[in-house]
Amino acid sequence: MNRALLVGFWCCAGAFGAPSAKFDSDARRWLLRNEVMEASFQLGPAGTFEFRGMHYLTASQDWPAAKSVASAPIRLTLDQSSFDASTMYVLLKEWTSAAPRGGLRQNILLEESRGLGKVLVEIDLYSNLAVLRQGIRYFNTSGRAVHVTAASPVHWDLHAAAASYRALRVEQWMPMPGPNPADFQRILSNVDPGGRVLQTASGAHNHYCSWIAVNDASGQGIALGWEFDGRMTVDLRHQASEQTLQFSSRISGLYHPVPAGEEFQVPRAFAALYAGGPDDAGFVTQRFTEEVLAKPLPPGMPFPAVIWDSWAYGQGIDEETLRREAALAAKLGVEVFIVDLGWARALGDWTPDPVKFPGGMRGLSDYVHSLGMKFGIHFAWPEAAPDSPVLRQNPDWRSSVDYDYYGADSLCLAHEPVRQWIVAEAVRVIDETNADWILQDGENMVKECRKTTHTHHPLDSNYANAVDGLDWILKQVQAHRSHVLWENCENGGNMMTFQMVQNYATSILNDASGARAARQAAYGATFPFPSRYSDRYMPEQSMNAYTARSYLFGGPWILMNKLALLDAPDFEYLGREIARFKSIRETVRDGKILHVTNPPAEGRTDAIAAYDPATDSAVAVVTRDGAAAATFALRVGEFRRDKSYIVTFADDPRILTLTGEQIGRTGISVRLPERWGTEVVTITPAAADGRSRLQ
């Protein structure tokens, strides 16, 4: 991209405010700009459509297109014909329109020169976000049916002047036996300058979250995210000799039929520019996710919520037991009460068990609502017991691969009658139980199915089950019952994608794995995702600072213990920590997540913090996990150096007044007298009289 020409164009246009797009008809170049970034695309002299470059205005960073290869965003294969860097197009139309959630969309409609069809490129830009979101839609105007056999949602060929780059990826929750179990570990990798591929395999039942962040030694960085729940691979390659940094991708097992006159949507993806390190990559991604992608929360609902879930009782639940637990939960300050697996007659037979709940679920739901709590219910709708009525009547609805969720068979969500039945069942269950919350569970929400008797193509299971199945079902049910919030649980958090956030209010991380594991998972997941997508299940029955406070930082805090068995001191202690969670949750939800230390591990002290720029305040949770030292220097570098701040603690009676320079340079001395213990630190701006402005 010619930086001087680009600046001159925008100066003349006078477009330095909200998102704008300009088309130079002579150069056939599109220039998009907001307050913090600009980007350029061009239809070249030969008719090839190319990305030309991005510039991060705030940090004066350039990400121009590679010089040695053409950077072509459109990458598709139709049967044996490919759309790539050499494909020629005719421009049919270009226009701007409103993008979802208040952005600007540049639309570019192209016709492929061989008569294979039309392509609509959609490029979104939002105010004050250094993020470019892109979608590709193919329209089959060839007059015959075709199959999309390859598509690359993520494809960038960038000029890379730095000698070396470092990449950050985050694993999902995959605890199964084998050589590579995954539990939200942060994976930092040096990118090989000789061109060896660094791979990120994402989606349901895959290894990584659908995100990667890359930066050079100076902190110039780009983070990429993709909006697809199915299995997909993104490759990163650095060719230092050619000064190129290349991202490419492929959707697994793609063979999607596109009849004449119909269209195919390539999953959307985004590129976020940042300056600094991993926390900065996370912050720009999280801001974009919350403002543009994430499922909106109901106005006025406190979130992340405190939740109680019945799983401590397994499937041995009944109405009397749950009424007793609901009364105790309400006393603790619980906000959502969830009935987990075991309420129905069987998986797939979504009718209340007549022995456990002789009056149905509505009586319990009404009682929970009368206590001031929301009512939630476990609903594993992709699964059905072999002898359930739905499978006795429709045995062919099974997926060709069975994932053995509590002895149930797997349903193929891409098969049209299955998804229609699930939508009807979901709406009925919500209405009959008066549910406010759905805990969606199952083993692999994107099933593999190669049946020739189903309505999807047998070779298109991955895309069809993800887009035409899972995503379609959720959109339909939520359109009918929009007040209900959904929690993503794939028998644990192994579908952590930027499509997931569009359908769910939150997601589980590792599944009731205990205090240390909860901190480890929240540490990893809060790099790519907003903290509300890191809910934690607490199974511990006894309470102390180490245990309870290991669940304070993140999304919804979900109690999975028997409240009736807590002794009075533990019950009272838990109530106090729930009140503490509520006092800090908005800062954690809205703030920049700061991974102050290395990940939590036995034998050391770990710290994680959230800094809220709007209030210039922060909260940190510091945990001594068997470490030798009884003090820890908490350094937070986000505060103004010359400004004074009030520092308070959950247990330590000290009240400190420190400058931002002191907090960032020498740090706050946190006392941790117990070998296994946790302290909560709150930092707020001081008023002229020395008190906290937020008191």
**What are the structural domain ranges in the chain?**
3-293, 306-591, 596-685
CATH of 306-591, one of 1.10.1060.10, 3.20.20.70, 3.30.230.10, 3.30.1330.30: 3.20.20.70
Q: Quick one: which H or E segment has residue 235?
A: strand 232-239
| C-beta contacts of 475-484 below 8 A and 24+ residues apart | 475/503, 476/423, 477/423, 477/426, 477/427, 477/430, 478/503, 480/423, 480/427, 481/426, 481/427, 481/430, 481/431, 483/298, 483/436, 484/430, 484/435, 484/436, 484/437, 484/438
The share of the chain scoring above pLDDT 90, in percent, equals 93
Name the pTM for this structure.
0.95
Taking a C-beta distance cutoff of 8 angstroms, is the pair 232, 212 a contact? no
C-beta of residue 250 within 8 angstroms of C-beta of residue 150: yes
pLDDT at position 170 is 98
Rounded distance between C-alpha atoms, residue 502 and residue 290, angstroms: 10
Check the CA dihedral 479-483-484-488 and report its sign. Answer: positive
Q: Residue 467: name the closest of 515, 418, 512, 414 by CA.
A: 414
Q: What dotted CATH number matches 3-293?
A: 2.70.98.60
Q: What is the pLDDT of residue 175?
A: 78
Looking at residue 48, its pLDDT comes to 98
Instruction: Quote the pLDDT of residue 689.
Output: 55
Nearest to 612 by CA among 506, 531, 508: 531
Question: Residue 8: what pLDDT?
Answer: 37
Q: What is the full DSSP assignment across 571-627?
A: HHHHHHHHHHHHHHHHHHHHSEEE--SSPP-TTEEEEEEEEETTTTEEEEEEEEES-
- Across the chain, which has 695 residues, the per-10-residue mean pLDDT values are 37 59 98 97 97 95 95 96 97 98 97 97 98 98 97 98 97 80 93 98 96 97 98 98 97 98 98 97 98 94 97 97 98 98 98 96 98 98 97 98 95 98 98 98 96 98 98 98 96 94 97 95 98 97 96 98 97 98 97 98 98 97 98 97 97 98 98 98 84 47
Predicted confidence at residue 300, as pLDDT, reads 87
14, 85 Cβ separation under 8 angstroms: no
Q: Is CATH 3.60.9.10 correct for 596-685?
A: no
Beta-carbon count within 10 A of 350 CB: 23
Residues 6+ apart with CB under 8 A from 120: 107, 108, 109, 110, 136, 137, 139
Contact at 8 Å (CB) between 246 and 154?
no
Distance CA(315)–CA(83), nearest Å, equals: 52
pLDDT digits (tens, 9 = 90+) for 44-89: 999 999 999 999 999 999 999 999 999 999 999 999 999 999 999 9
Give the pair of three-digit tokens for residue 669: 């001395």
